[in-house]
Structure 1
Amino acid sequence: MLYYSTNNKQLKSGLKEAVINGLAADKGLFMPEEIPVLPPSFFEKLPDLTLGEIGFECLKPYFCPEIPEADFKLLTADAFNFDAPVVPVSENIASLELFHGPTLAFKDFGARFLARVMARFTVGYGQDINVLVATSGDTGSAVANGFLGVDGVNVFVLYPKGLVSDVQEKQFTTLGQNITAIEVDGTFDDCQRLVKTAFMDEHLKDKITLTSANSINLARFLPQMVYYFYAYGQAIKQGKQNISVCVPSGNFGNLTAGLIAQKMGLPIKRFIAATNINDIVPKYLASGHYQPAPSIATPANAMDVGDPSNFVRIQELFKHDLTSLQTVISGCSVSNELIFSTINTVFHSYAYILDPHGAVAYHALKTALSKEEYGIFLATAHPAKFPETVEEIISQKVEQPERLKAFLNGEKCVKNSSNVYEELKQVVLSKAL
């Protein structure tokens, strides 16, 4: 399959080129040339398939035969080797728990898959590949841990100083080896701008090979569709129907993956795009006017995005037709106060602990859901990653998984940069050359 640029459909690339480059030559995002519909036989067996088996079936059209099918089956089994259970929370609402991977966040799905694909593509490449990634929280830890120790790949994680939780920070600043954490004096939008500027810097690209592990990379966001199929299969197995899904959204790669799954035949009724007070997309869905804005820091920090990169992919899927988009997606913005009160209410009413991002999704889903629907919200991070917020609200300690404790015992090691591009460039070159 070929992949076209969102800036120019005539500009196309093969899989390996698209994955390694991250962005198209004209700085557009790559999209698959076609989205195949999976056969009825797949949906008949779906409730009994593992995550790895689902990954093989739904991602095969995009990654094979460039990766031989036998190898790809092993790759997906290895990448998705942990569970993602659908857990009932209230009467007609369940949580899809995506935090059972190594870094306790949904980003493990895309990052582990991308790292394994990239490791194949770098064999015999002749020079190191440098992965540049901006994070507002969980992306950094998932990407860093996914690529840790991969030969021929250097990873640079940019994050906004003081705007990620202490736990999140420890997960990517304590690793060393081929991972460099860069603390930027600015916001996540600054970090994302710096990454985009680097990709447009021909002088830098003449010296080193750059790629991205943010959800702008097609091999990062496409594998996220796997858990939508898995969740639907589990819900059907539990006798549920008329299923709608609420997605806590920041850069909108997660929702894009769900919409592609739907176009491949997954019979999800509709999606609710839940944001914190960075409500660019909900406003667009209501008014038809898309107006980026500076990001605002919130307790749901991974969603603090004022100009979501992946929304152009969603517009591509719906041919830039707002009316068509509105038939499948509704938007909801959740205030900081509602994040706090939702964590408190759900814990005391149902003994279920939400992290701030899950609280955004739960509130939006509860607000939007009709009596005829069964709702699933994506729980994208373990509440133990946000102890400063969650424990104060529920007035008790959140149990820390053992793999999280291991990160917390590590020693932080970072490079520092302002939000001026030339300063970042020197940091990257000093480590990459």
Structure 2
Amino acid sequence: MQYISTRGGAEPLGFCDATLTGLAPDGGLFVPDAYPTLDPATLQSLAGQPFETMAHAVLSRFAAGELTDDELKADIDAAMGTFAHPARTPLVQIGPNQFILELFHGPTLAFKDVAMQTLARLMDRILSQRGRRATIVTATSGDTGAAAADAFRGRSAIDLFILYPDGRVSDVQRRQMTTIADDNVHTLAVAGDFDDCQRIVKALFVDREFNERVAMSGVNSINWARVAAQITYYLFAALTLGAPHRKVAFSVPTGNFGDILAGYVAHKMGLPVEQLIIATNQNDILDRTLKTGRYMPGRVSPSTSPSMDIQVSSNFERLVFDLSGRNAASVKERLADLSGGFELTAPELAEMRTLFSSGRSDDEETRKVIGEIYAETGLIVDTHTAVGLKAAREAKVPDGTPVVTLSTAHPAKFPDAVEAGCGRRPEQPERLAEVMSSPERSTRVAADVKAVADIVLERSRAVAA
């Protein structure tokens, strides 16, 4: 299997090279040249199997023989061993045909751990086999940075630089990044919003001289291996609820479109998905796009669900690539400069609507849902999960279809907003105790490409190597 750029200007790469490279050098995103399949018999054989077995079934198809079964299994087992729940991503019923998929039992209490713990081990293995070093520069709206800091801490072949919007992540999210004491982890508080952080990272990726000098890589959901690893929990939930003989709908809180893209790829691989519900907060570019056909970034509005405070959804490019019939020239023309937005064609929009629907929730609506869920079920959910639950309630799906809302973060990561919604402060898991009391390390930096580049050049050990 080869990985090609959505913009058509990069040489195809194998799985390992695409994983280390992250963003394609032409500014596009890597996608497989064809989606592998899981036929009904294979899906049936996976029903009831451990999460790790399902993860291997998925990743082995994307790795396409570049890593041995033993290597993949070892990395997957080690990654999932960091999770506190034996099911890894347990499914909880909250009403008739309504379920929550708890994705927050990993080390940093957010869904990003599922893929990041695996990705860190895969990258470490590939670099060690090649005798190389890498510099990872990543942008985060909160959870990606925390998950990356935990997964990559202490890894001798990798330096990690995390850009986060100063003052626009929760206290818990910030501390999960800034209290990591390992010398290879560097947190940069950018004077701007997440889109500024993401813009800087993309600019560094396409600067060929800089990229090669620091051996740059990325672990945002721009990295295909992240998307591939997230497919597993869609399989886990759907097979638990009766797939392949029964279709399942998923409501996904999303800002950067990476998490829901994994559901789309699961569908393309053969998982019977009834509907993928895009759940957004007031930063509703994806909801607006599906309703109007026009993708037009606006200004980021800070919210109580900060991981979704995004107006440029990077992974949407991968979907546009498929909707366009994999027309790289069309994608490049429309997405290279987003200052004026772009239009989906009528056939593209119609095709998107055959699988996707959408909904939005502002802060007041989110607060209300948190209170309602607590009153109805006794469960305390975080703000992002509440956004997903509101969209799930409003979605039009066939009678009898199970609807699974992805619960992307533990409520203790957003205690003030959760308490405002249900009147109870979520209990703090043991994993957070040290984080909330340890000293922080962070460097403030302007939302400027050169300012960030200078810090990376000064601190990255790959430069000297």
Q: Does 1:333 align with 2:360?
A: yes
Task: Give yes or no for contact 1:155–1:179 (8 Å, CA) kept in 2.
Answer: yes
Q: Does 1:158 align with 2:163?
A: yes
Q: Does 1:347 align with 2:352?
A: no
Distance 1:240 1:275 in 2: 30
Task: Give yes or no for contact 1:225–1:261 (8 Å, CA) kept in 2.
Answer: yes
Task: Give yes or no for contact 1:52–1:78 (8 Å, CA) kept in 2.
Answer: no
Task: Give yes or no for contact 1:35–1:263 (8 Å, CA) kept in 2.
Answer: yes
Per-residue CA distance 1:263-318 (angstroms, 9 max, x = gap): 11111111101111111111111111111222221111001110100001112233
**1:206: Cα distance to partner?**
4.0
One-letter identity of the residue aligned with 1:309:
S
Distance 1:294 1:318 in 2: 26
Per-residue CA distance 1:43-68 (angstroms, 9 max, x = gap): 21232111110011111111131101
Task: Give yes or no for contact 1:130–1:209 (8 Å, CA) kept in 2.
Answer: yes
Distance 1:240 1:8 in 2: 38
Query: Partner residue of 1:205?
Result: 211
Task: Give yes or no for contact 2:253–2:385 (8 Å, CA) kept in 1.
Answer: yes
Task: Give yes or no for contact 1:22–1:216 (8 Å, CA) kept in 2.
Answer: yes
Query: Partner residue of 1:257?
Result: 262
Query: Partner residue of 1:110?
Result: 115
Unaligned runs of 5+ in 1: none
Query: Partner residue of 2:43?
Result: 43
Distance 1:233 1:375 in 2: 13
One-letter identity of the residue aligned with 1:386:
F
Query: Partner residue of 1:55?
Result: 55
Superposition pairs for residues 381-396 of structure 1, below 5 Å? Answer: 381-396=409-424
Distance 1:298 1:44 in 2: 41
**1:106: Cα distance to partner?**
0.3
Per-residue CA distance 1:326-385 (angstroms, 9 max, x = gap): 100011111111111111111112111110100000000001144432211000000011
Distance 2:79 2:319 in 1: 26
For residue 123 of structure 1, give the secondary structure of its aligned residue in structure 2: helix
Distance 1:64 1:73 in 2: 14
Query: Partner residue of 2:4?
Result: 4
Q: TM-score, normalised by structure 1?
A: 0.96
Query: Partner residue of 1:397?
Result: 425
| Identity rate, percent | 36
Distance 1:124 1:241 in 2: 43
After superposition, the Cα gap between the structure-2 partners of 1:333 and 1:397, relative to the gap in structure 1 and judged at 3 Å, is closer
Query: Partner residue of 2:29?
Result: 29
Task: Give yes or no for contact 2:51–2:236 (8 Å, CA) kept in 1.
Answer: yes
Distance 1:275 1:240 in 2: 30
Equivalent residue in structure 1 for 2:103, among 95, 98, 105: 98
One-letter identity of the residue aligned with 2:142:
G
After superposition, the Cα gap between the structure-2 partners of 1:242 and 1:267, relative to the gap in structure 1 and judged at 3 Å, is closer
One-letter identity of the residue aligned with 2:92:
V
Query: Partner residue of 2:329?
Result: none
Distance 1:17 1:373 in 2: 40
Task: Give yes or no for contact 1:6–1:312 (8 Å, CA) kept in 2.
Answer: yes
Distance 1:308 1:150 in 2: 30
Query: Partner residue of 1:182?
Result: 188
Per-residue CA distance 1:222-248 (angstroms, 9 max, x = gap): 1000000001122229x9944211011
Q: Which stretch has the larger CA shift, 72-81 or 8-17?
A: 8-17
Superposition pairs for residues 17-416 of structure 1, below 5 Å? Answer: 17-81=17-81, 82=83, 83-177=88-182, 178-236=184-242, 241-319=246-324, 321-370=348-397, 371-416=399-444
One-letter identity of the residue aligned with 2:64:
C
Distance 2:226 2:58 in 1: 14
Distance 1:125 1:252 in 2: 32
Query: Partner residue of 1:430?
Result: 458
Query: Partner residue of 2:343?
Result: none
For residue 99 of structure 2, give the secondary structure of its aligned residue in structure 1: strand
How many residue pairs match? The answer is 432
Task: Give yes or no for contact 2:140–2:162 (8 Å, CA) kept in 1.
Answer: yes
For residue 303 of structure 2, give the secondary structure of its aligned residue in structure 1: coil
**1:140: Cα distance to partner?**
0.5
Q: TM-score, normalised by structure 2?
A: 0.90
Distance 2:365 2:97 in 1: 20
Distance 1:110 1:171 in 2: 17
Unaligned runs of 5+ in 2: 326-347
Per-residue CA distance 1:20-59 (angstroms, 9 max, x = gap): 1111121110000111221333221232111110011111
